């Protein structure tokens, strides 16, 4: 049990190596973005990426949990079309809280 939280040299080197590679990947992206002019279809694709990634993360969770979560996701999406983001999120949270009170 004493060795459960002890770090070995190889573990520390591996963690530092992964952190360095991650940092280098990010810095390379920033450096390239400053030197390359992105226009047209590439720019449109990059601008569409954050909502697509967010959808890919949230949709499986929202629709695999149950009726309250799926309903809250739908309410949030429809509220976001007309209302400010904070209000849409609050509507989604209120929906999931209220729906969880109903036995299904």
Mean pLDDT score across all residues of the chain: 86
Please check whether residues 28 and 73 belong to one and the same domain.
no
Residue 93 sits in the same domain as residue 47: yes
Of the pLDDT bands very low, low, confident and very high (cuts 50, 70, 90), residue 55 is confident
How many Cα atoms within 13 Å fall on the side-chain side of residue 8? 4
pLDDT of res. 46: 78
Residues 47 and 76 in one domain: yes
Question: What letters, b where the CB count within 10 A reaches 16 and e where it falls short, cover 51-72?
Answer: eeeeeeeeeeebeeeeebbbbb
Please give the residue that has the higher pLDDT: either 89 or 29. Answer: 89
Report the domain count for the chain. 2
> Which whole number is the average pLDDT over 71-84?
92
Which residues are CB-neighbours of 32 under 8 A, at least 6 positions away?
none
In the prediction, which pLDDT does 42 show?
Answer: 84
Residues 6+ apart with CB under 8 A from 19: none
Do 65 and 99 fall into the same domain?
yes
Q: Please compute the mean of the pLDDT values over residues 57-74 and round it to a whole number.
A: 87
Could you tell me if 94 and 55 lie in one domain? yes
pLDDT classification of 4: cutoffs 50, 70, 90 = low
Whether the pLDDT of residue 71 is over 90: the answer is: yes
Closest CA to 96 of 80, 81, 78, 74: 74
Instruction: Please indicate, yes or no, whether residues 62 and 24 belong to a single structural domain of this protein.
Output: no
């Amino acid at each position: 049990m004493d060795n459960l939280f002890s770090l070995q040299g190889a573990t520390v080197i591996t963690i530092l190596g992964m952190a360095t590679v991650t940092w280098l990947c990010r810095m390379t992206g920033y450096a390239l973005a400053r030197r390359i002019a992105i226009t047209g279809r590439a720019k449109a694709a990059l601008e569409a990426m954050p909502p697509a990634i967010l959808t890919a993360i949230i949709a499986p969770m929202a629709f695999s949990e149950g009726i309250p979560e799926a309903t809250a996701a739908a309410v949030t999406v429809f509220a976001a079309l007309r209302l400010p983001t904070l209000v849409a999120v609050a509507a989604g949270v209120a929906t999931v809280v209220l729906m969880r009170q109903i036995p299904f």
